[in-house]
Amino acid sequence: MVKKINWDDVPVEQVTDKMQRRMIYGDKVMIAKMKFKDGFLVPLHEHHNEQVTQVISGTIRFWFGANKEQTMDLGPGDSVVIPAHVPHEALMIGDVEEIDTWSPIREDWLDGTDDYLRK
């Protein structure tokens, strides 16, 4: 069944005092629209999901690799494709709004086992 969804109708989850997200998902793909406060750090982690990050506002500094060998800053209009199992860390520089897309869906985000974000 095809369903129309408006982001304004999607409940906001306040993950921490510096992170909130809204999620839309199907059987094989998930999209999350997120807002972060300046200084929020997504710790180094990896997952089996392929990820596409699109920055709407603010700057995200990414580090990629187990030893953070690669650094990349993304600003408004920038996107990055992160293959499955690539370790990555992200720092929000200024307040950030962005959209992440994953395949397959992030089961850990749905069942609340995404502890690495909640510390």
Residue 40: what pLDDT? 98
Q: Measure CA 9 to chain center.
A: 20
Spans in the chain with pLDDT lower than 70: none
Cα separation of 101 and 49, whole Å? Answer: 9
- Do 99 and 54 touch, CB atoms closer than 8 A? yes
pLDDT in tens, 6-23: 999 999 999 999 999 999
- pTM, two decimals, is 0.94
Beta bridge partners of 73: 61
Domains and CATH numbers, the chain: 24-117 (2.60.120.10)
